[in-house]
Amino acid sequence: MLYYGGTDQQSEDIYIQSWIWQGGEGLESKNQKVLDEILESHNYDQTAVIAIMQDIQKVYRYLPEEMLCYIAKKLHLSEAKVYGVATFYENFSLEPKGKYVIKICDGTACHVRQSTEILTEIRSLLGVTEAKPTTEDMMFTVETVSCLGACGLAPVCTVNDVVYPAMNQEKARALIQKLKEGAGTREEAADEN
């Protein structure tokens, strides 16, 4: 991200400062309680910052900025450091995600078995795009991944980390329909496999 014609590093510094400023306020007490419990379960250990973020993301499906500021303070880490960790790992998201996170594998094994058609079908059914991957009602987020580690089952997609093997467009349509009708919990999504 480039600002004001500066260098990439300058731009990144400005972006981090902006992020820190925006995230300094607004943590609700109920959320603070959840964070305190997560931090407590890791003994406020700085070296567990990744595991702490994973636990936060499990609860909220992304890492809200104000929560990163809060854990930085509690772990005695700089906000820039915590932000750096959150942006380094692609499994972490700073953007809110839908209730059902659908990942379509576009690794080689899946790609040669028409994963692109499945992706196009699902995006079309949900009215999302690469630039706008989450539906307005926050029910679905559609993402691509490079390999889900299940190449023998290609083409593969996952819904909230539950694997759906040997997909095709017809199965994709049925899956989306089922999720829309069920519209239940993330655990129910897992049970549906």
CB of 102 to ligand FES, least distance (A): 14
Decide if residue 105 touches ligand FES (CB under 6 A): yes
Q: Which long-range contacts (CB under 8 A, 24 or more apart) does 146-153 make?
A: 146/105, 146/106, 146/107, 147/105, 147/107, 147/108, 147/109, 147/110, 148/103, 148/105, 148/107, 148/110, 150/105, 151/107, 151/108, 151/109, 151/110, 152/109
Single out the segment in contact with ligand FES by CB under 6 A; choices: 30-38, 77-85, 100-108, 134-142.
100-108
In sequence order, what are the residues at sequence separation of 6 or more whose Cβ sits closer than 8 angstroms to the Cβ of residue 84?
none
Question: Quick one: which of 10, 46, 108, 124 contacts ligand FES (CB under 6 A)?
Answer: 108
Single out the segment in contact with ligand FES by CB under 6 A; choices: 57-65, 84-92, 106-114, 165-173.
106-114
Q: Is the Cβ of residue 70 or residue 158 nearer to ligand FES in the bound state?
A: 158
Decide if residue 23 touches ligand FES (CB under 6 A): no
Decide if residue 150 touches ligand FES (CB under 6 A): yes
Decide if residue 82 touches ligand FES (CB under 6 A): no
> Which amino acid would we find at residue 74?
K
